[in-house]
Amino acid sequence: MINPIQTTFRNLFESSPLISFAPGRINLIGEHTDYQEGFVFPAAVKQGIWVAIQKNGLKSCRLYSLDFDQEFTFELDTLSPKKGHWATYVMGMVALLNQAGYSVSGFDMVFGGNIPVGSGLSSSAALSVAIGTAISGLFGFEIPKKSIALYGQKSEHLFAGVKCGIMDPYASAFGAKGKALLLDCRSNTHEEIPAEFGDYSLILVNSKVKHSLADTAYNKRREACEESVRLLSAHFPGIVTLRDIPSADMEKVETLLSAELYPKAKHLITECERVHEAAAALKLGNLSLFGELLKASHLSLSKDYEVSCPELDFLAEKSWEITDVIGSRMMGGGFGGCTINLVKSSRIMDFESRISSAYSARFGIVPDFIPVQIGSGASILKEPADTK
């Protein structure tokens, strides 16, 4: 992507840009735990967003999106981010940086990426982090990576209207080649864990569905967790969220919560434990155990947390039947999107054929297959040859 981004920038603005990159991310395990300050296990991927930027000496910012083939200009003294428009991500980051004391002046920008639409690889977080990295580099702000991630999260909250957790921008900023991040969503700190899969490869299967009840169900799950914490706090003094309750106390938790609340709390508590077990399994190179944990995560998300759907359950269950698949589970918020699968590299074509045939026969949809490799986090790829 770097060549078309650079060429387009020179053709439009007749100057040499600084170029930054920020990756999308996968989450190996740890779903719906972030908003209870739990643990997640993401990794950056090689797909991402590239941003070309250069000062223009104006009081305005001129933008071009390669993916949308659209131009957009905004004045720095009259910022008005528009929900639903791609330029909102640029304006949002500029507004937050200005509020934080970073004096951003006029610039030109071109950006584009290769993250498949609807893949769940978090293109919006990658865009925000790439923008923050580019602006920091161009103006010499030296903004810490964690701050860029937090600005990216806040920009989504305030300007895009998406109440996302810290995982997506954090993984994009801090990703490391060949490593997954054991991320604590309370302290916003992480440990790098080697993620080497030997003869196996990670591949996403896109169900190509997104059920409309996703947003409502998401809010209800959050409310259920918060209600459980309120009820349990009298019996578990000092707990702040469900992550503070060890799985050894599940029997006690079951006696204290209603039949409706208990399964949701159970998922949260056990999923946090599975994250740590998965990290330990990868440290030891125990892929078999890692695969078992992926399956357990899916079953918990489907049966206890109830955020799966028939299409995702079908894809996961069919994958479990294939001997060349170590593990499979739904990835992301649920009710559609992708499964993440660990498949023997030499048998990927057979895996794709079998899954595609079965899925299309059952649902009349041909799924997409997205191979992913764990890559590095955000960085400056090219300094400008000249500045204005």
What is the secondary structure of 174-213 as a DSSP string? H-BTTEEEEEETTTTEEEEEE---TTEEEEEEEEEEE-TT
C-beta neighbour count of 360 within 10 angstroms:
12
CATH classification code of 2-195+375-382: 3.30.230.10
Statement: residue 387 has pLDDT above 50: no
Write the CB contacts of 197 (distance below 8 Å, at least 6 apart in sequence). 287, 342
Position 158 scores a pLDDT of: 85
Whether residue 121 is annotated as binding a ligand: the answer is yes
Statement: residue 354 has pLDDT above 60: yes
Statement: residue 385 has pLDDT above 80: no
**Which residues are part of the catalytic machinery?**
168
Whether residue 377 is annotated as binding a ligand: the answer is no
Statement: residue 162 has pLDDT above 90: no
Write the CB contacts of 356 (distance below 8 Å, at least 6 apart in sequence). 366, 367, 369
- Higher-confidence residue of 36 and 214: namely 36
Total-model pTM: 0.93
In percent, the amount of the chain with pLDDT more than 90 equals: 87
Whether residue 255 is annotated as binding a ligand: the answer is no
Statement: residue 377 has pLDDT above 90: yes
319 class by beta-carbon count within 10 Å (0-12 exposed, 13-18 middle, 19+ buried): buried
Whether residue 345 is annotated as binding a ligand: the answer is no
Structurally, at CATH architecture level, domain 200-371 sits in 2-Layer Sandwich (3.30)
Give per-residue burial for 144-166: e unless 16+ CB within 10 Å, then b.
Answer: ebbbbbbbbbbbbeebbeeebbb
Position 214 scores a pLDDT of: 66
Statement: residue 228 has pLDDT above 70: yes
In the chain, where are the structural domains located?
2-195+375-382, 200-371
Position 164 scores a pLDDT of: 76
Q: Is 49 helix (H, G, I), strand (E, B) or coil?
A: strand
For residue 331, list its beta bridge partners: 338
- CA dist 196 and 250 (Å) reads 33
CB of 40 closer than 8 Å to CB of 27: yes
Whether residue 201 is annotated as binding a ligand: the answer is no
230 class by beta-carbon count within 10 Å (0-12 exposed, 13-18 middle, 19+ buried): exposed
In percent, the amount of the chain with pLDDT more than 70 equals: 98
CB of 28 closer than 8 Å to CB of 171: no
Average pLDDT over residues 375-386: 86
Average pLDDT over residues 217-239: 94
Same topology, domains 2-195+375-382 and 200-371? Answer is no
